[in-house]
């Protein structure tokens, strides 16, 4: 095992919070006539292509709040919701600020916080991540975001940016995420990596393969087990 990291940087959507379940619940409450599962999956499916338009330079810098809104506006007619008012659209778009944490996240992070500096490293914007953390009690020491680095993951500027912010070597930072592509990009920058299993990230109809892949320093069932593996 390598030297213990100093900074744990967490991916957020899917890793720490359950975007799928939270959006399904919100849709059931607000628009029960809509298939919440299909709606959540469609919204999320627009995410990477939207960020790609920023990465390619087509859009300039646009925050996730605004990308989510662009995707939402485009998909509402498909789900019979073209009539939603501006206020209703704004409220629905802010569901990404109101995502619930996976049941183990807060307890696991509180344990990890006793020995490590915990930050977010998410493509979500700073305000979104702060509102989300305050609502459910995620105990970050620092909110870092693509917005700080003006670049979206997997741009190396994001992973290396964490090391620069804390004035440490890349290998003293560990990215913790439920996505192998995110972890692979971090590893290519010299970061340590921990995979966190989230088999239900896309809901019960699309169970995710969470089998271990080579290259990660740690593979944990959830954040509580990660705390155990890291001696907390």
Give the nearer residue to its own copies in terms of CB position, either 17 or 144.
144
Nearest approach, Cβ of residue 167 and its own copies (Å) = 6
Look at the block and give the residue holding tokens 């090391």: 163
Number of residues that bind its own copies (CB under 8 A): 20
Residue from 47, 62, 106, 117 touching its own copies (CB under 8 A): that is 117
Longest C-alpha distance within the chain, in Å?
Answer: 56
Using CB under 8 A as the binding rule, whether residue 127 contacts its own copies is answered as yes
Nearest approach, Cβ of residue 84 and its own copies (Å) = 19
Can you read off the two tokens belonging to residue 95?
Answer: 């569901």
| Binding to its own copies, residues 171-230 (CB under 8 A) | none
CA dist., res. 160 & res. 76, Å (int): 37
Using CB under 8 A as the binding rule, whether residue 99 contacts its own copies is answered as no
Say which residues have a Cβ less than 8 Å from residue 13's Cβ, sequence separation at least 6.
Answer: 19, 99, 122, 123, 124
| Binding to its own copies, residues 52-81 (CB under 8 A) | 65
Within the chain, strands assigned E span: 7-10, 117-122, 142-145, 173-177, 192-196, 218-220
Q: Which stretch binds its own copies (CB under 8 A): 9-17, 23-31, 125-133, 215-223?
A: 125-133
* Backbone phi and psi for residue 4, each to the nearest 5 degrees, phi listed first: -60, 140
CA dist., res. 144 & res. 140, Å (int): 10
Using CB under 8 A as the binding rule, whether residue 126 contacts its own copies is answered as yes
CA dist., res. 109 & res. 176, Å (int): 11
Nearest approach, Cβ of residue 70 and its own copies (Å) = 16
CA dist., res. 110 & res. 52, Å (int): 34
Give the nearer residue to its own copies in terms of CB position, either 12 or 183.
12
| Binding to its own copies, residues 128-167 (CB under 8 A) | 129-131, 133-134, 141-144, 147-148, 165-167
Contacts with its own copies by CB under 8 A lie at 65, 117, 119, 125-127, 129-131, 133-134, 141-144, 147-148, 165-167
């Amino acid at each position: 095992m390598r030297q213990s990291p100093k900074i744990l940087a967490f991916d957020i959507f899917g890793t720490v919070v359950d975007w799928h379940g939270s959006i399904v619940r919100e849709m059931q409450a607000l628009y029960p006539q809509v298939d919440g599962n299909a709606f959540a999956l469609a919204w999320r499916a627009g995410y990477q292509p939207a960020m790609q338009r920023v990465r390619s330079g087509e859009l300039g810098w646009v925050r996730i709040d605004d990308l989510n809104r662009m995707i939402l506006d485009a998909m509402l007619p498909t789900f019979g919701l073209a009539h939603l008012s501006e206020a209703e659209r704004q409220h629905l778009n802010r569901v990404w600020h109101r995502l619930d944490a996976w049941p183990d996240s807060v307890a696991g992070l509180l344990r990890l916080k006793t020995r490590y500096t915990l930050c977010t490293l998410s493509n979500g914007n700073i305000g979104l991540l702060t509102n989300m953390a305050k609502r459910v009690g995620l105990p970050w020491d620092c909110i870092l975001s693509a917005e700080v680095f003006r670049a979206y993951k997997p741009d190396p500027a994001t992973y290396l940016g964490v090391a620069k912010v804390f004035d440490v070597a890349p290998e003293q930072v560990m990215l913790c995420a439920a996505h192998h592509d995110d972890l692979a990009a971090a590893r290519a920058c010299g970061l340590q990596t921990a995979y966190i299993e989230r088999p239900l990230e896309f809901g019960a109809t699309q169970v995710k393969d969470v089998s271990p892949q080579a290259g990660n320093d740690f593979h944990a069932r959830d954040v509580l087990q990660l705390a155990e593996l890291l001696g907390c």
